[in-house]
Amino acid sequence: LAVKDPTAVERANLLNMAKLSIKGLIESALSFGRTLDSDYPPLQQFFVVMEHCLKHGLKVRKSFLSYNKTIWGPLELVEKLYPEAEEIAASVRDLPGLKTPLGRARAWLRLALMQKKMADYLRCLIIQRDLLSEFYEYHALMMEEEGAVIVGLLVGLNVIDANLCVKGEDLDSQVGVIDFSVYLKSDDDIGGKERNVQIAAILDQKNYVEELNRQLNSTVSSLHARVDSLEKSNTKLIEELAIAKNNIIKLQEENHQLRSENTLILMKTQHHLEVSKVDVEAELQTYKHSRQGLDEMYTEARRQLREEAQLRQDMENELVVQVSMKHEIELAMKLLEKDIHEKQDTLIGLRQQLDEVKAINVEMYQKLQVSEDAMKEKNEIISRLEDKTNQINATMKQLEQRLQQAEKAQMEAEAEDEKLKQEYVNKSESLQNEFSQKEKQLLQLETDLKIEKEWRQTLEDDLQKEKETVSHLRTETQEIVTLKKEFLKLQDKNKQLKSICEDQEAALQELASKLSESKLKIEDIKEANKALQGQVWLKDKEATHCKLCEKEFSLSKRKHHCRNCGEIFCNACSDNELPLPSSPKPVRVCDSCHAILIQRCSSNVP
């Protein structure tokens, strides 16, 4: 029989005990139907079994006084691995009645069961095998597969609701003894299979309800978050509405203010118009009452009319010049579209013409200022005439006193006065007509100036467009120049490559001709070898003369023997040499078979 490992047997026994205790605890808790207290026997047996499972294979740690062997060390690691376990660890450390690490571990297990997270905490421990190896041996239950099975069984304890009082309990001095009588089967257990099925169904329903509750909690939290975000957005919208309402109120106030200002401005303008009308009427009355000095005014007015007529003719001539300039500019624009290279010269001419137009506009503006000055002078003359009329009235009073003395002179003067009145009335009417004509001329001049300004703006826009087209064409010409340069470079490269290809083709042709010649020579050598296969070398004594020149061998004429055909030549006749890569000097070759010649000592040379 094979001897079993005692540690494996211990692990199997502890696993079976854990299964029995968890199963019994779940069945009894469901049959009990209420929350479990700390005095409930199956619950106490479960904690004892869990202590034994956690103590299995635990390493002994040395201290100053004695050896220490507790399960509080690995359970403290859960705080680092699972952040939600910090509350349990902190509450266990704060309990006043606990003095030993074993008591803290027992309190930790009870709190984890009440939270229904014992399986999650122990699963984090089992995953970190490298950390558990500091506290457990390699054959411990928590280091093997049995620990994972126990963690899976602990998930079923989430069905149980426990309410344990840890604060007043004496957890340090409890003795952990397993009561096996609880797990022995009886006759009642055999007949309770139907009850177990019902319990299992109830457990499944409870798990389903808990999962639904968790999902509902998650949806409620998400809905709360959405409600918070909607409330924030609602508050923001309310604030924006308040700001918008304030802005609308401000704009309405500004609108009322602007309307009131508009009404005030209208009132002021009407008042100014009425005042001006009164002034004009007073001036007309004073103008009618004026008697003397009108002849001078008439002559001055005629002179000013002539000057203004001349100015008008000058303006008409300038307008004709401008029209002709406009036609010339249109012709220049057409020429610009046809000839791109002549655009710069035409642009310079257009700029000069624009300068002339500017000068003409300045002259027109100056002439307008001169006309305004003339109108001011006329107003001053009218004021002077009023003064003169006042003086005339004073003199008339003096003359009336003298009229009593000279009635005849008075009658003549009255006749003359009537004639003068008629003349002055006629002159005043003619002057009024001339004044209205001048006003019309001023309006025409203003319209002409507006037209010239518009024409000038159109010319400037056309010039700017032409400048843009010129710049675009310049960029295109620059690109064409760069492309031409690149094309020339590519042509040069193409010529170089063609020359290289031609050289390579010539070299290949030369190599082919040399190869063909070498092949022909090799074939000749092979034929010569076939013809001379049966020949034998001559002896040195027999070979006394060269075969070609038939002269006797000596020191100056040494023997050269062919390996292939066996012929013997002198060094003068065997002039054919070939360079070999293996030898630094060229080698002599046979004339008939082209084989390498070997130098031999002649018979008459010692």
Cα–Cα dist 89/76, whole Å: 7
Tell me how many helices (H) and strands (E) the chain has: 13, 7
**SS3 letters for 259-314?**
HHHHHHHHHHHHHHHHHHHHHHHHHHHHHHHCCCCHHHHHHHHHHHHHHHHHHHHH
- As a whole number of angstroms, the distance between CA 150 and CA 22 comes to 9
Q: With b meaning 16 or more CB within 10 Å and e meaning fewer, what string describes 419-443?
A: eeeeebeeebeebeebeeebeebee
Q: Would you call 40 helix, strand, or coil by DSSP? A: coil
The structure's pTM equals 0.35
CATH code, domain with 15 = 1.20.58.900
Q: How far is CA 282 from CA 273, 286, 594, in A?
A: 14, 6, 144
Residue 316 lies in a domain: no
Residue 287 CA to residue 382 CA, distance in Å, equals 7
User: What SS3 class is residue 320?
Assistant: helix
Nearest to 308, CA basis, from 398, 387, 370, 237? 370
Q: Using alpha carbons, list the distances in angstroms from residue 598 to 150, 284, 561, 582.
A: 99, 150, 5, 16
For residues 368 and 444, give the distance between their C-alpha atoms in angstroms, rounded to a whole number: 12
Question: What's the rounded Cα separation, in Å, for the pair 180 and 178?
Answer: 6
* Residue 324 lies inside a defined structural domain of this protein: no
Neighbours of 475 (CB within 10 A): 10
Q: What is the pLDDT of residue 581?
A: 46
* 88 in any annotated domain: yes
Q: How far apart are CA 451 and CA 463, in angstroms?
A: 18
Is residue 33 classed as helix, strand or coil in its secondary structure?
Answer: coil
Encode 309-341: b = buried (16+ Cβ within 10 Å), e = exposed. eebeeebeebeeebeebeeebeebbeebeeeee
Residue 394 within a domain: no
Going by DSSP bridges, is the β-strand pair 577-578/568-570 parallel, antiparallel, or unpaired? unpaired
pLDDT for 37 equals 79
Tokens of 39: 């005095």
- Considering the domain boundaries, does residue 452 fall inside one? no
Amino acid at site 38:
S
Distance from C-alpha of 543 to C-alpha of 559, rounded to nearest angstrom? 9
* Class of residue 599 by CB neighbours under 10 A (exposed 0-12, middle 13-18, buried 19+): exposed
Is 485 contained in some domain? no
Q: How far is CA 291 from the centre of its chain?
A: 88
> Which of 68, 230, 223, 41 minimizes the C-alpha distance to 135?
68
Q: How many domains does the chain have?
A: 2
Tokens 């000069």 identify what position? 352
Is residue 144 a contact partner of residue 7, using CB atoms and an 8 Å limit?
no
Q: Domain boundary residue among 183, 204, 230?
A: 183
Residue 157 neighbours by CB distance under 10 Å: 18
Closest listed residue to residue 113, CA positions, set 46, 195, 32 = 46
**CB distance 59 to 142 below 8 Å:** no
Cα–Cα nearest to 469, from 353, 325, 333, 327? 333
**Tokens at 98, concatenated:** 């606990």
Closest CA to 53 of 127, 143, 113: 143
| CATH classification at residue 579 | 3.30.40.10
Residue 575 confidence (pLDDT): 56
Ranges of the chain with pLDDT below 70: 1-4, 33-34, 61-69, 179, 181-197, 291-293, 295, 336, 339, 343-344, 346, 399, 403, 406, 409-410, 413, 531-542, 547, 555-567, 569, 571-572, 574-606
The last residue of one of the domains, among 129, 159, 183, is 183
Q: How high is the pLDDT of residue 238? A: 92
Residue 115 in domain: yes
Structure tokens at 130: 């490298």
Domain boundary, last residue among 133, 150, 183: 183
Contact 579, 555 (CB under 8 A): no
CB-count burial class (<10 Å; 0-12, 13-18, 19+) for 179: exposed
Residue 89 exposed, middle or buried by CB count within 10 Å (0-12, 13-18, 19+): middle
- Total residue length of the chain: 606
Token readout for 298 is 């008439």
User: Following DSSP, what letter does each residue of 455-487 receive, concatenated?
Assistant: HHHHHHHHHHHHHHHHHHHHHHHHHHHHHHHHH
Is 35 within the bounds of a domain? yes
Q: Which domain holds residue 147?
A: 6-183
Q: What confidence tens digit (pLDDT) does each residue in 503-520 have? A: 888 888 888 888 888 888
Residue 249, pLDDT score: 92
pLDDT at 587: 57
Tell how strand 559-562 and strand 568-570 pair up.
antiparallel
